[in-house]
Structure 1
């Protein structure tokens, strides 16, 4: 068999690697520090999570219309409900990268169609909307349905729940990065599980959520979680977040 120079070089390199490998011991690639922090589950909530809403009060929230003004939405039987015409509410604390859990349910009396049916939204860093919308027999544009990054990315699949059942969103979000001059280094990305089903898989967010026109890329730092008042009596519960 004829062996060319490339093959000879490759075999020599391979034998060198194999010889070097034999010098390793198992403990050479075992690390014991730094140890990851210990997190336990307390009532299905990670022990290091910030509780944003546990059914008791809106101490973590304020009106989006006027900073410092109490959030005006309604709490009844442990459920937070949009109070139409009062405006959005937002977290007092601001976040960058995070894991977010939030549960939502359509109004008891669902009316209208398309975008006028059980509409709300969850704005990540106050800019990028994860759509909340009743999706039981409710055709609409796919990048505006439940589980979409509004007007940008439709969900991978459409996940339904019964009309009297709660939906769950579990969100892993990485904020965009900008340099000191405000130039974009990397765009935001988001992964979303809707009722345990993957609907956004490390999806790139192109910019701000715009009802008319294209997304805009604006340099910014940490931002709040905003819940949208779209005029429908959408319900929320069990909201927590883990800064990453």
Structure 2
């Protein structure tokens, strides 16, 4: 039987125990019930493949260790599985002299710059610039979302210590956090799926070989993403019909603003056609008219003329469609029926349109060819009907290149004897000095079929 004298002491003891338990409970981190899937078993590189350069990768202390070597391009340890929508978390520690990154939705295709790894990169940047967790487009457009205007995220990086990344890629939206601080918020629809990659950046001869970057606790979530996705307080950077930081620095300009007809007119009109073309959700579309003159809006051209230039745009065709991008166009030529006269980057459904088997040389009217003059490389890669493709034209000092989806498919010399011979054997032989103008308009063709365009940008090249 407990004496009256012992009861107060017992109450004090129980109270002290309760306080200790409460303190321990408060200090405990909340349990993470997210059904993560580990991408790294802590012991081997099973499920991963190295691409690009020959930097050293090894497993040590339940971590992947990347080590720099001289005389090699960027190296990537890539997941063998591809991922579309996901939430990814990992930790890394990086040598303060290195640059690195986490590739997401990235790819390596034979047709793209001989297999070069390209795609979104979540930057690892221990330099004074401190853009860690910003978003770079490796092997393509360069910087999309630097941390120039996010000092909190810049300050969140921990030098010579472990840093934690959270990366959400859901639909066209990519969001990042560094050590739980919101870093980047990007809306971009360039690539929907690809591998995860751990980059060891190339180094110069004056940099120390053997520096390390270490990754651990790499885990991914691919189901129930709406349940686990976090809101970001940041204002999103939207790339559709706009320029990235690197593009602006390189001198690119938007040729179409994504909203209006500013800068464009009908090839035979003073203003933009009143019918036949539509602008909807940042996409410029020539409508199907079946070739009927009453329904067609006709070709459209830039109001400005251009000499040396680089042009990039995304195009999307419908089944059996025919269109084109013309350059060095003189709208004062050919006042009669047909399209305005200029050199043409052909846009075509090669599998279904009869033009694919026609031309001065068979195949010289296939997609990305110099229409009726030079056939594009047979190994070119064209995305399926309904998907976007990227056309790229470079014209400098009369040397011209056509690119399709990152692959150079033809090149030629304007005004050369070989070029003039091709013209003399083509449908253009009746036009004096065809394709030899110093400047001209750029043209998007109305050929009676539904074809869409976006992200139309130009870099004038000054001599």
Q: Distance in 2 between matches of 1:81 and 1:41?
A: 28
The reply to whether residue 96 of structure 1 matches residue 275 of structure 2 is no
Q: Give the equivalent residue in structure 1 for 2:444.
A: 227
TM-score (norm 1): 0.67
Q: TM-score, normalised by structure 2?
A: 0.37
1:6-21 alignment, distance < 5 Å? none
**C-alpha displacement at 1:210, in angstroms?**
9.7
Which residue of 2 is the match for residue 168 of structure 1? 390
Give the stretch that moved more between structures: 227-236 or 210-219: 210-219
Which of 50, 59, 65 is residue 253 of structure 2 equivalent to? 50
- Computed over aligned residues only, the root mean square deviation of the Cα atoms, in angstroms, reads 2.7
Quick one: which of 250, 269, 272 aligns to 1:70? 272
Please list the CA deviations of residues 44-78 of structure 1 after superposition, one character each: whole Å capped at 9, or x if unmatched.
Answer: 64112221124212201111111x21244211121
Output the CA distance in 1 between the equivalents of 2:448 and 2:258: 21
Tell me whether 1:140 sits opposite 2:393 in the alignment: no
Q: Which has the higher strand share?
A: 2
Report which stretch shifted further, 210-219 or 123-132: 210-219
* Structure with the larger RCO, 1 or 2 (CA within 8 Å, 6+ apart): 1
Match of 1:212 among 422, 427, 449: 427
Tell me the distance in 2 between the aligned counterparts of 1:232 and 1:137.
13
CA distance in 2, matches of 1:204, 1:55: 32
Aligned to 2:69: none
Aligned mate of 1:150, from 371, 376, 379: 371
CA contact (8 A) 1:151 1:209 kept: no
User: How many residues matched?
Assistant: 185
Q: Distance in 2 between matches of 1:171 and 1:154?
A: 15
Q: Does 1:192 align with 2:414?
A: no
SS in 1 for 2:279: strand
Deviation at 1:120, TM superposition (A): 0.5
Q: Does 1:130 align with 2:130?
A: no
Cα deviation for residue 147 of structure 1 reads: 0.8
Structure 2: segments with no counterpart, 5+ residues: 1-140, 145-238, 290-295, 330-341
The structure having more radius of gyration, on CA atoms, is 2
Is the Cα contact below 8 Å between 1:135 and 1:160 reproduced in 2? no
Structure 1 residues 77 and 211 mapped into 2: Cα distance closer, same or farther (>3 Å)?
Answer: farther
Q: CA deviation at 1:135?
A: 2.6
